[in-house]
Structure formats: structure tokens, C-alpha cells
Amino acid sequence: MMYKLKKQLPNIITLSRIISLVVGFVLFMKGNMILSLIFYIYGAISDSIDGYFARKLNAYTKFGQYLDAISDKLYFLSLIIILLVNKKYLIILPMIMELIISIINYLMLKKNKKVFTERVGKFKTTLLIITLIVALLSIEIKIFNYLYIIFLVLTTYFHIETICAYINQLHGKSKENIVSFKGKKISEKIKLLLDEFMQYIKNPIKIIK
């Protein structure tokens, strides 16, 4: 009995995530942003937790995969609705790119090509979640608007990097020969981009002070 319960633990966590998203969405629509934010942060954290337990307990099931996919879509969809209703229209840019990445993944699966996960790909997903949370905060706390713009540009940039990497893989290029969209190594561009952002945020910081 205990063994079966352990095997279902990842699915239980995923179900709790779906419930938390529904509750968080309703709370936000009723004007309770703080509680809503807590539920959405739990949704982001629990996504990593259920994956960890699925790997540790070797509890991968088709039902669990479908459930996890549904929870991911609900997470992004509910946040996107909230942000668009509150006129955060630019958030649609990385979401369109996320859709493009999903289409490329589908094409690669049709060609029976294994999809590798670049570090930049993992990072862009984490960055997207942080961007959505910061955007949510910026609705009520205006000082977060500066941070939202920075994270939005960063997440868009890394989505472009991921698309370039996946397109190269789709056309049969090796992982080592991935060409970035500006012809520079990812590490070099990250440094340049961060330098640009440090220059950009000087004025907003002065305004805040």
C-alpha cells in the first residue's frame, strides 16, 4: 500500500498544483493579489518537486505525463489571461516563441530525432516563470515595472537562442556546431547582454532613489 502511494506521489503533487492554479486565478480576479501570488509561486516550485520525485521513485506514467502537461498549460494560460487583462501585452512575445519551440519539438519527434535540452533551454523556462511572476507583481507594485522590462527582454533573448539551437538540430547539425542568431557563442552574448542591461538600469535606479 505504501509502495503504491509513493508511486503516486508525483501525480498527487501535480494535482495539488492544478488546484493551486485555479485557486490563485480566482483569488486574483477577486483582488487578493498576495494570496494569489503565494499559490502561483507554489505552482512554480511544485513543478520541479513532482519531477524530482518522479525521477527518484522511477514513477513515470503516461497519466502523469499528461497531467503534468495539462498543469503546465494551465499555469501559463491563467497567468497570460491575468496579464493581458491588465494590459501587459508584451508578454505575448516570449509565449509566441514558446509555441514555436513546441512546434519544432513536434517536428523533431516526427523525424524520430531525440530532443536534447540545452542549458540555455532550461534557463529560458525558469526565466519565463520568473518573468511572469514579476509581471504579476508589477500590476499592483509599480516599482516592479522596471524589473519586468528587464526580465521580459532577457527571456525573449533566451527564447530566440533556444529556437536557433533547435532549428540547427532539426537540420542535423551537431550540438557543438550550433550557430547562434548573432554568430557569437552563447556565453559571449550573455556577457554582452548583461553589460548592456547594467547600463540600461542605471537611470531607473536613479529615478527610484
Same domain? 2 vs 74: yes
Query: Could you say which of 85, 117, 134 is where a domain stops?
Result: 85
pLDDT digit string, tens, across residues 1-41: 555 556 678 888 889 999 999 999 999 888 888 899 889 88
pLDDT of residue 22: 92
Query: Could you say which of 40, 69, 85 is where a domain stops?
Result: 85
pLDDT of residue 57: 72
pLDDT digit string, tens, across residues 90-136: 888 888 888 888 787 777 777 766 555 556 666 777 888 889 989 98
Query: Could you say which of 56, 85, 114 is where a domain stops?
Result: 85
Measured in degrees and rounded to the nearest 5, phi and psi for residue 87 equal: 65, 30
Mean pLDDT of 148-165: 86
With beta carbons less than 8 A apart as the criterion, state whether 152 and 145 touch: no
Structural domain of residue 202, as residue ranges? 89-209
Cell numbers found for residue 17: 498544483
Same domain? 75 vs 162: no
pLDDT of residue 44: 84
pLDDT of residue 27: 92
Same domain? 80 vs 97: no
Same domain? 172 vs 139: yes
pTM of the predicted model, to two decimals? 0.69
Same domain? 7 vs 35: yes
Mean pLDDT of 151-174: 78
pLDDT of residue 199: 53
pLDDT of residue 110: 73
Same domain? 95 vs 70: no
pLDDT band of residue 209 (cuts 50, 70, 90) is: very low
Same domain? 54 vs 141: no
> Whole-angstrom Cα distance, residue 136 to residue 209?
23
Residue 53 has pLDDT above 70, yes or no: yes
Same domain? 21 vs 43: yes
Same domain? 110 vs 188: yes
Name the domain count of the chain: 2
> Whole-angstrom Cα distance, residue 201 to residue 197?
6
With beta carbons less than 8 A apart as the criterion, state whether 45 and 39 touch: no
Same domain? 28 vs 117: no
Same domain? 99 vs 10: no
pLDDT digit string, tens, across residues 185-199: 544 555 455 455 445
> Nearest CA to 119 among 181, 186, 20, 197?
186
Which helix (H) or strand (E) covers residue 51, if one does?
helix 33-56
- State the average pLDDT for the chain: 75
Residue 148 has pLDDT above 80, yes or no: yes
> Whole-angstrom Cα distance, residue 135 to residue 116?
30
With beta carbons less than 8 A apart as the criterion, state whether 83 and 91 touch: yes
Same domain? 46 vs 102: no
